[in-house]
Amino acid sequence: MNKKNKKENNLRKIRIKSVTLHCSTADQPQLEKAIKLLEFISKAKPVKTLAKKRIPAWNIRPKLPIGCKVTVRKQKAVELLKMILLGVSEINEKQFNPSFLSFGIKEYIEIPNIPYQREIGIIGFEVMVALERPGFRIEKRKRTRSKIGLAHRITKAETIEFFKKNFNIKIA
């Protein structure tokens, strides 16, 4: 069989599992602004993240809300990521991991489709993108849980290639 005639295996296709936006601050008024920002960008309701340790120098104690995050999946995740990547000129190769990409946005007004919001001010946030292949569910399911084989895992090179091909990002 010729390579050109051979169909591409559908179980090897990489897809976006989730896009998570995260913003952290110990200042409570700033946290409320961050929640408004993430809700404005993602059109989904964020949840607060709580501190696990006591840090007296920063006035942080356990169970104190110190951040917020929102996770978006499926087609909404792809649309959100395309919108956010318009504000990013290039991504460093160190920001890629096997099946993950994470980067930060210093100011949300860098994203072209998002106007400045007076009640929010200027805030930055982090973006984490998780990738998967069909069949990754076997590692998470309740019954007959199994491990993902080495050949089916997503490597760092495949992650970089996926983002170059689908989102036209420049890699530094």
- Please report, for the domain that includes residue 92, its CATH number: 3.30.1440.10
- CA of 138: how far to CAs of 95, 132, 145, 153, 168, in Å? 27, 12, 6, 13, 31
The answer to whether residue 148 is domain-embedded is yes
Distance CA 42, CA 32 (A): 16
According to DSSP, the β-strands at 15-24 and 47-50 are unpaired
Cβ proximity of 125 and 23 under 8 Å: yes
Distance CA 85, CA 151 (A): 29
Q: What is the extent of the structural domain holding 74?
A: 12-171
The answer to whether residue 22 is domain-embedded is yes
The answer to whether residue 2 is domain-embedded is no
Residue 71 CB neighbours (<10 A): 17
pTM for this model (two decimals): 0.83
The answer to whether residue 137 is domain-embedded is yes
Instruction: Quote the tokens at residue 149.
Output: 């084989």
Residue 104 exposed, middle or buried by CB count within 10 Å (0-12, 13-18, 19+)? exposed
Distance CA 39, CA 112 (A): 17
Cβ proximity of 38 and 46 under 8 Å: yes
The answer to whether residue 58 is domain-embedded is yes
Coil/strand/helix, residue 3: coil
Q: From first to last of its 172 residues, what are the pLDDT tens digits of the chain?
A: 455 555 788 888 899 999 999 998 878 888 898 999 899 888 899 999 898 999 888 888 898 888 999 999 999 999 999 888 888 878 888 999 998 999 988 888 888 888 888 888 888 889 999 999 998 888 889 999 999 888 889 999 999 999 888 888 888 8
For residue 147, the one-letter residue type is: K
